[in-house]
Amino acid sequence: MTDQTKSMLVIDDEDSICLAFERFFKARDWNTSSSASAGEGLSDYDELRPDVVFLDVRLPDRSGLDLLDDLSERGAAVVIITACGDLDTVVRALRGKACDYLTKPIDLDKAFALAKRISETKNRGTEKQAPLPSGGEILLGNSPAMQEAYKLIARAAGTRSPVLVQGETGTGKELAALAIHRFGSRRNGPFLAINCGAIPEQLIESEMFGHVKGAFTGADCDRAGKFESTDGGTLLLDEIGELPMSVQVKLLRVLDSGTIERVGSSKTIRPDVRIIAATNKLLEEQVQFGKFRQDLFYRLAVLQISMPPLRDRGQDIPLLAKHFLRQFALNSNDRQKTLASDARDVLMRYAWPGNVRELKNAIDHAVTVAPDRTIRQCDLPQSVRKCASTVSQGDGSLEKAVTDYASTLTDGEPERYRRTIGRAERALIVQAMKLHNGNQSGAADYLGLHRNTLRKKLRELQIQQ
């Protein structure tokens, strides 16, 4: 053997998983070993010191994430195995120094490629992380698109660079910003927000940086701005795309210098603030149209997170709906209602231009109007029922559905055009795939597309087949 033989340990109480891992890695000349519990896993690790550990989060004697802490203290390279990558698990895994994580069912080719990569780069840090918070409102969703977002949130939480969170209205940008704060080292500091679109231009500067008495008419006392009040915490600049040009210049200067002055004062203050900006406009487009300063864009978009629209992650809809049903029941002290299958179908078909917020409102509406414990299609808001049925008919109503959809958008024209076209394309492809029972060649012929082009689009638009 030319290379030094690599070794791996899989810690999982499911025998079949251990066996599959061992076989696969053995066939590729790795030394392998497996343990069925956390206790056994830790002693096996100490004995064998494998290059890579695959660790299940659910173990009979102890949480895999707790074991991860012990393993990472020993400098182990750990890949977490999880049945579903929820935000908490992903963040804990990545912040707890796991190298990566895999979701079940396990793709062994992927696991092997990961192990190989990890074993070849062995410069692992061992700095300790503070314990993470739990509870409170949290982002939900197991779709691949959300898991990507979780990974970025975890990374952002581990740094203090500015972050730009983009996404359509109601996709959870504010929740993402809050998660970055809660999972980061500033979690004990304040989390404040300024809505740049809701404050009149002449007041924004004072809202951000504060003012001294007499600085302008009505300034009858000294007042700290949000930057000062956020000292030691995180400040969310919401709707940043709405920030007037004059304030953009000032914000840029503040970000560059790290200091602020209250309006009307020349005394400089240096608050310790982490900035997260959020926008439902495409900020890069705003830059192209000269509505947003390019230099400020680069300053804010050191890390970028894009929150996926709900229509691109249909698999999260039942889970979110159930969550909102539970929340509603808790708040009203009522028994939790359930969704009938016809209502569920409508929720799955609808395009959700208002994303998760709109889903939440639709569920709240349905819970209120449903006469008994079961929510049926007729209990859902009319707008949802109407649009869901037009898209599904597959006759001349597609145009109407798209027109309806376009009329719900409130952004600028370029954005509206892009989204409407995207929506129409998606609906046509979904329909063609349905007509041909998932047969790609048939659907491609029907659409007049090359099969490879259709495949690419299915991937890009994340259409499940």
Ligand X SMILES: Nc1ncnc2c1ncn2[C@@H]1O[C@H](COP(=O)(O)OP(=O)(O)OP(=O)(O)O)[C@@H](O)[C@H]1O
Tell me which residues touch ligand X (CB under 6 A). 137, 139-141, 167, 169-175, 280, 320, 356-357, 360
Smallest separation, CB 317 to ligand X (Å): 11
Which of the ranges 8-16, 129-137, 173-181, 314-322 carries the binding residues for Mg ion, by CB under 5 A? Answer: 173-181
CB under 8 Å to 220, separation ≥6 — which residues?
213
Which of the ranges 79-87, 169-177, 216-224, 409-417 carries the binding residues for Mg ion, by CB under 5 A? Answer: 169-177
Quick check: 321 and 339 in contact, CB under 8 A? yes
DSSP symbol at 54: E
Smallest separation, CB 312 to ligand X (Å): 13
Interacting partner of 419 out of ligand X, Mg ion, none (Cβ under 5 to 8 A depending on kind): none
Residue with tokens 């994340």: 462
One-character DSSP codes across 214-240? TSSTT--S-EE-HHHHTTTEEEEEETG
Interacting partner of 94 out of ligand X, Mg ion, none (Cβ under 5 to 8 A depending on kind): none
Smallest separation, CB 225 to ligand X (Å): 22
Q: Which residue is nearest to Mg ion (CB)?
A: 174
Quick check: 108 and 115 in contact, CB under 8 A? no
Q: Which residue is nearest to ligand X (CB)?
A: 172
The closest alpha carbon to 71, from 98, 48, 91, belongs to: 98
Measured distance CA(96)–CA(127) in Å, rounded? 10
Shorter beta-carbon distance to ligand X: residue 254 or 305: 305
Measured distance CA(426)–CA(29) in Å, rounded? 45
Interacting partner of 356 out of ligand X, Mg ion, none (Cβ under 5 to 8 A depending on kind): ligand X
Smallest separation, CB 232 to Mg ion (Å): 23
195 binds Mg ion (CB under 5 A): no
The closest alpha carbon to 431, from 447, 408, 415, 414, belongs to: 447
69 binds Mg ion (CB under 5 A): no
Quick check: 298 and 161 in contact, CB under 8 A? no
Residue with tokens 């660790």: 55
Which of the ranges 24-32, 58-66, 168-176, 218-226 carries the binding residues for Mg ion, by CB under 5 A? Answer: 168-176
Smallest separation, CB 149 to ligand X (Å): 9
Smallest separation, CB 224 to ligand X (Å): 25
Smallest separation, CB 72 to ligand X (Å): 28
70 binds Mg ion (CB under 5 A): no
Question: Of 174, 222, 404, 411, which one interacts with Mg ion (CB under 5 A)?
Answer: 174
Interacting partner of 408 out of ligand X, Mg ion, none (Cβ under 5 to 8 A depending on kind): none
Total residues contacting Mg ion by CB under 5 A comes to 2
Instruction: Specify burial of residue 2 (Cβ count, 10 A radius: 0-12, 13-18, 19+).
Output: exposed
Quick check: 299 and 160 in contact, CB under 8 A? no
Measured distance CA(279)–CA(293) in Å, rounded? 14
Point out which residues bind Mg ion (CB under 5 A).
173-174
